[in-house]
């Protein structure tokens, strides 16, 4: 594999992995499971799948336990999606939390092993690495703000009163099912 392509794959892998680590607790720590939870979850799934798939192409040291973990994580995240589609929130949460913990463990090993790129970059350019991490966090913050704005805006439009329905109807403006707005941060 060419050096430029290998570098791009490593950057994509490290960036999406880092963003998935930062984003994961947002849904796990929020009490509400609303439209915002779903779009944040979809973002996290996209990040983790990208992290795993790009990791499969990092073969500089041959096939390692990280490759097996990537395949396993793709499977557990997919099972989590299947569980929630089947109406099993407990199974969904268990698979998502397990996948997140696996991500943290993989990051720990990748960051702590001296021969890994994270260690070499932190030693050779700690300021550059910190600035890159801050830029990623800022981009994620902007994305989260956009998602929050879109989901609360959408909820407000869908909660517009329908004059033909009484106050007890599920579509009434004060219905708890339609309350998806909240304060930022959630």
Express each pLDDT in 60-100 by its tens digit: 878 888 899 999 999 999 999 999 999 999 999 999 999 99
Check residue 60 and give its pLDDT. 80
Asked if the structure places residue 86 within a domain, the reply is yes
Domain membership of residue 186 (yes or no) is no
Instruction: Give the number of domains in the chain.
Output: 1
pLDDT of residue 160: 54
User: If you write DSSP's letter for every residue of 5-64 in order, what string do you get?
Assistant: HHHHHHHHHHHHHHHHHHHHHHHHH-S--SHHHHHHHHHHHHHHHHHHHHHTT--TT-S-
Nearest to 81 by CA among 54, 55, 99, 106: 99
12 lies in a domain? yes
From CA 107, how far away is CA 11, in angstroms rounded? 14
Asked if residue 183 belongs to a domain, the reply is: no
User: Quick one: which of 181, 185, 138 has its CA closest to 22?
Assistant: 138
Specify if 31 maps to a domain: yes
Q: How far apart are CA 77 and CA 49, in angstroms?
A: 8
Q: Is residue 14 part of a domain?
A: yes
Domain-embedded: residue 64: yes
DSSP 107-125: HHHHHHSTTSHHHHHHHH-
Tokens 């939870």 belong to which residue? 37
Residue 142 domain flag: yes
What is the per-residue pLDDT for 19?
94
Q: Is the peptide bond before 185 cis (omega within 30 degrees of 0)?
A: yes
pTM of this prediction? 0.75
The range of the structural domain enclosing residue 91 comes to: 3-178
Computed from CA positions of residues 65, 123, 3, 107, in that sequence, does the dihedral angle turn out positive or negative? positive
Q: How many CA atoms lie within 13 A of 87 on its CB side?
A: 0
pLDDT in tens, the chain (186 residues): 678 888 889 889 999 999 999 999 998 888 888 889 999 999 999 999 999 999 999 888 788 888 999 999 999 999 999 999 999 999 999 999 999 999 999 888 888 877 777 777 777 878 888 888 899 999 999 998 998 888 888 767 666 555 444 444 444 344 333 334 444 344
- What does the DSSP 8-state code read for residue 179? -
């Amino acid at each position: 594999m060419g050096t430029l392509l290998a570098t791009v794959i490593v950057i994509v892998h490290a960036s999406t992995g880092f963003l998935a680590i930062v984003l994961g607790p947002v849904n796990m720590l929020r009490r509400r499971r609303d439209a915002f939870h779903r779009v944040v979850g979809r973002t996290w799934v996209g990040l983790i799948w990208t992290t795993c798939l790009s990791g499969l192409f990092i073969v500089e040291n041959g096939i390692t336990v990280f490759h097996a973990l990537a395949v396993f994580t793709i499977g557990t995240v997919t099972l989590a999606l299947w569980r929630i589609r089947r109406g099993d929130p407990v199974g969904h949460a268990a698979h998502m939390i397990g996948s997140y913990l696996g991500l943290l463990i993989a990051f720990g090993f990748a960051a702590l092993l001296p021969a890994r790129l994270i260690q070499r970059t932190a030693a050779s350019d700690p300021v550059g690495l910190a600035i890159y991490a801050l830029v990623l966090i800022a981009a994620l913050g902007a994305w989260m703000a956009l998602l929050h704005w879109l989901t609360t805006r959408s909820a407000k439009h869908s909660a517009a009163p329908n004059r033909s329905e009484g106050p007890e109807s599920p579509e009434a403006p004060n219905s708890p099912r339609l309350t998806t707005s909240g304060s930022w941060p959630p």
